[in-house]
Amino acid sequence: MERIRSDEELAAALKRIEQLWEAPIGTPAGDELDELVALVEQYEAATLQKLLSRPKRWSKPEVPVRDGRYIRLEDVPESYRSRFVDDMRGATMPLPPGEAGACFYAWDWHDWLARDGGDQSSRWKVICQDAGDGSGELIVGLPDDLLQAAGLSEGDTLEIEPDPADSAAIMLRKVVMCDVCGSSTFETGYGVLQAQWRDGEREGMRLCKQCFGFAMITLKREHEVRYLFDDGEPKKQDDA
């Protein structure tokens, strides 16, 4: 074995070391033991270095939001960039005028950063107050540093879940609401319909799974009905 490449190979090496532990120095078994110990030390040192080099969860990088809706990929620090791009495969991307490089929606960046952008969770202590209207509901005040760290702003909708590791703690998750029916997309995720017209106007909607599916079916049915008695597909217009 030239080097250890995975945790499975590490486990196999440790098992072999245990078998060779009493091998005399200078024997073939003793030489194999020395080599395996050195390989394990190299692997563990490399793994520790990777863990130390990864960004902490709430050390949020300052990535400017442009036009109030998108970010440039080049503005995302390299320590975050590759993981962000991997997780955004298949996501809808904006096409802002004048932007030559890749861009992403700001809400996708903030959602990703709050959900998967780091390795360790952070905790804040907050004060819960009775709403005072007999409903039994509580008012939870969120400090500014928590809002900034989590990429939250006024008007965002949050889901509250109990922390399975601490009965006295709760977890807050940002939820994208469907722009059509207003339902939460927390469980299923959301789809995006967007347009960018030649006059510079841009519009779009974030839809829950049900509304997105309804939109797709409606468009297909409308197309079938409109051209049901035509000889062929509509002719494409040449760009002026």
Burial class (CB in 10 A: 0-12, 13-18, 19+), 156: middle
More confident call, 156 vs 167: 156
Among residues of the chain, what percentage have pLDDT more than 90? 5
Which span out of 54-63, 89-98, 182-191, 223-232 was modeled with the highest average pLDDT?
A: 89-98
Burial class (CB in 10 A: 0-12, 13-18, 19+), 182: exposed
More confident call, 204 vs 101: 101
pTM of the model: 0.36
58: pLDDT confidence band, cut at 50, 70 and 90? Answer: very low
Average the pLDDT over 169-186 and give the result: 76
pLDDT at residue 71 greater than cutoff 90: yes
CA dist 62 and 181 (Å) reads 33
The residues that bridge with 184 in the sheet, in sequence order, are 177
- For position 55, what pLDDT does the model report? 47
User: What is the three-class DSSP state of 53?
Assistant: helix
Average the pLDDT over 72-100 and give the result: 85
223: pLDDT confidence band, cut at 50, 70 and 90? Answer: confident
Domain boundaries, the chain: 7-53, 57-120, 123-175, 178-233
- The CB density around residue 85, as the number of other CB atoms within 10 Å, is 14
- For position 17, what pLDDT does the model report? 87
User: What is the three-class DSSP state of 138?
Assistant: strand
Mean pLDDT of all residues in the chain?
Answer: 76
Average the pLDDT over 185-210 and give the result: 78
Q: Report the run of H or E that residue 135 belongs to, with start and end.
A: none
119: pLDDT confidence band, cut at 50, 70 and 90? Answer: very low
89: pLDDT confidence band, cut at 50, 70 and 90? Answer: confident
Average the pLDDT over 148-167 and give the result: 68
Residues 116, 80 contacting (CB under 8 angstroms): no
More confident call, 200 vs 66: 66
CA dist 117 and 27 (Å) reads 49
